[in-house]
Amino acid sequence: MGPFIARRLAAMVPLLILISFGVYALVLLVPGDPARTLAGGIHADPAEVIRIRHQLHLDQPLLAQYWRWLSHAVRGDLGTSLFQHRSVASEIANRLPLTLSLALGGFAVSILIGLPLGILAGTRPGRKKKV
């Protein structure tokens, strides 16, 4: 059983990298230019747009941007929020308790409803549901 678990864990690493790259690449599908939006919108000064694009490393190829993000994320540095101007990690930590309480509440409701209904359905095999 140990080798099986080790193989599965080893296979998980490239899969996580592939999924994270796919999600990161979805940024390309978002309409608009984030640098222009941050610089002030449609009437933004082109020099300011170029400065922000360079500051956010948006002037680099996608793979270079991804590698920079991944290398920082592995070290726990998720960057700074563009709108709150605070650490993204601290923002996540602030919202984690509420997120966990919602997830645990949903889990509890699904257990309280799903488990009895599953047991009921299992004790009556072959019966059709009345609609």
Distance between CA atoms of residues 63 and 68, nearest Å: 9
Same domain, 91 and 33: no
**pLDDT less than 70: residues of the chain:** 128-131
3-state secondary structure of 80: strand
Residue 66: what pLDDT?
Answer: 94
Domain residues for the domain of 96 are 83-124
* Same domain as 119, residue 65: no
> CB-based burial of residue 1 (10 Å sphere; 0-12 exposed, 13-18 middle, 19+ buried)?
exposed
**Residue 42, domain member (yes or no):** yes
- What are the pLDDT digits (tens) for 54-80? 998 999 999 999 999 999 999 989 888
- 3-state DSSP assignment of residue 29: helix
Domain assignment present for residue 61? The answer is yes
126: left (phi over 0), alpha (psi -120 to 50) or beta: left
- Do 102 and 73 have their domain in common? no
Contact 53, 95 (CB under 8 A): no
Helices in 26-87 by DSSP H: which ranges? 34-39, 46-55, 62-74
pLDDT at 38: 85
